[in-house]
Structure 1
Amino acid sequence: MSDAALPTVAEVRAAAEAVKAALDRHLAAVERRTGDEDPDVYAAFNELAAAAEDYDELLYDRYDEVTPFEIPSPDDGVPYTGPAEPAAFSVLIRRDYAVVETPRLIAQAERVAAHDGDAELVHDGGTAGALGVLFGEYEPDEIASRAKDFGLEEGDSTLWIAASEEAAEPGEWLDSPFGHTDPQDVLHRFDVSSVFDEEIDQFDGGDEGEEQGETARSGLTPA
């Protein structure tokens, strides 16, 4: 940036004062909040985030310095704008798997079908049919905990808790169960991915994480 385009000292100081004022407003909103999801607290948080981001940019442009603040951006998540006191909520879960041992998967399904007259291997008894049998017999949590037994390898997963004003009527969303969720109604989300291990390894050398073979869990909550 050229000297002519640099922010003035006065502009940087004004931005710093704006952060101080936003901090005071945020603290005041927190002190008088009426619940865990108070809309005034969310509004004050967003104002503080915007003020801190402006100050950080001006400080860097003028002095080539940064603040220790990490300001959420739209890429980091969508701000919650749902009801302050949800009367109902939905839990949405996605779990990805890779089929790494097809014979094991089919064998497990055949074992279930042999003992359950209602379980039938369709689709020529291949992978598609085996998945139908296994998910018809076992709860998703049990399949997740026994993925290797079924010849599966776990991938990324996420769990969303989405708030709503009232509970849905029976059968109301069955034709499109995932089409009515607004990301701004998500109260909390919990992500599991090996990418978190990779990020940790960049800082600690990776030996401990690789030996443990654990997948990191990230709980993300709107501020």
Structure 2
Amino acid sequence: MSDAAQPSAAEVRAAAEAIKAALDRHLDAVERRSGEDDPAVSAAFNELAAAAEEYDELLYDAYDEVTPFEIPSDGTIPDYTGPEEPSALSVLIRRDYTVVEPQRLLSQAQRVTDLDPDAAPVDDRRNGAGEADAGSQAGSSVHAALGVVFGEYEPDEIASRHKEFGLEEGDSTLWVVAADEPAEPGEWLQAPFDQADPERVLCRFDVSSVFDEELDEEDED
């Protein structure tokens, strides 16, 4: 941000005062709450969250400092603010796994490198290890084995066969995000997820065991 565009000290101070006032209103609403889902408390919470976000942004722009506060999300997806007719998009995928059977993973990696020594981890070959040495490391190191498996198989195939690789699924999500124009080659490779703006999500698909737990609780009720 240029010096001309930086907020003034008075603007930052005003934002700080707005937080103080929002805190007072929130506490007052909590003390007077009429029930668990009191709309006055929810409104005061949202006002406090907005004031905190405004202060945090101004503080960072003016002084390159941040606050230690994080307002928890209510789990709702923000309103879409991207282009009405997007001409470019990005697909962002995150899948979490736990290595629950290391030996199964090592065996799969060893099988791959036995059939194709070139599938051994790039770092091993780059550091001067021979094909036989690189292949043996793939079957003895979880780090190397993961490099072999994820280098050999497509992510969707690993997701469908994760148990064969000794993995257990965690949460996963897929975001389809609108872009104003296609990115230049190599433009975002150093930080591929930094511009994942929730307000530009066209659609998203979340998978989590917490959803199953919620369904079980509803069935019990």
TM-score (norm 2): 0.58
Equivalent-residue separation in structure 1 for 2:174 and 2:37 (angstroms):
38
Q: Which has the higher contact order (CA 8 A, sep 6+)?
A: 2
> Residue 146 of structure 2 aligns to a residue in which SS?
helix
Task: Write the deviation string for residues 57-107 of structure 1: whole angstroms up to 9, x where unpaired.
Answer: xxxx89x999xxxxxx86212221111110110000000001010000000
Structure 2 unaligned segments of length 5 or more: list them.
1-32, 39-45, 47-72, 125-133
2:143 matched to which residue of 1?
A: 128
Identity of aligned residues (%): 60
AA in 2 matched with 1:179 = D
User: For 2:85 and 2:157, how far apart are their aligned partners in 1?
Assistant: 33
Task: Tell me what 1:220 maps to.
Answer: none
Cα drift, residue 174 of structure 1 = 1.0
The answer for the alignment partner of 2:90 in structure 1 is: 90
CA offset at residue 205 of structure 1?
A: 2.9
Structure 1 residue 181: Cα displacement: 2.0
* Cross-structure match for 2:209: 194
Structure 1: distance between partners of 2:95 and 2:190: 21
Q: What RMSD, in angstroms, separates the aligned Cα atoms of the two structures? A: 2.9
TM-score, structure 1 normalization: 0.58
Could you tell me which residue of structure 1 aligns to residue 107 of structure 2? 107
Give structure 1 stretches of 5+ with no counterpart. 1-60, 67-72, 207-223
Q: Deviations over 1:181-223 (max 9, x none)?
A: 21211111110011111001112139xxxxxxxxxxxxxxxxx
Aligned counterparts of 2:210 and 2:197: Cα–Cα separation in 1: 26
Instruction: Give the match for residue 63 of structure 2.
Output: none
| Matched length | 144
Name the structure 2 match of 1:141. 156
1:1-223 map, 5 Å: 75=74, 76-121=76-121, 122=124, 124-125=137-138, 126-205=141-220
Aligned structure 1 segments of 4 or more residues deviating by more than 6 angstroms: none
Tell me how far apart the structure 2 counterparts of residues 96 and 110 of structure 1 sit (CA, whole Å): 23
| In structure 1, distance between residues paired with 2:118 and 2:37 | 68
Partner Cα separation in structure 1 for residue 159 and residue 37 of structure 2: 47
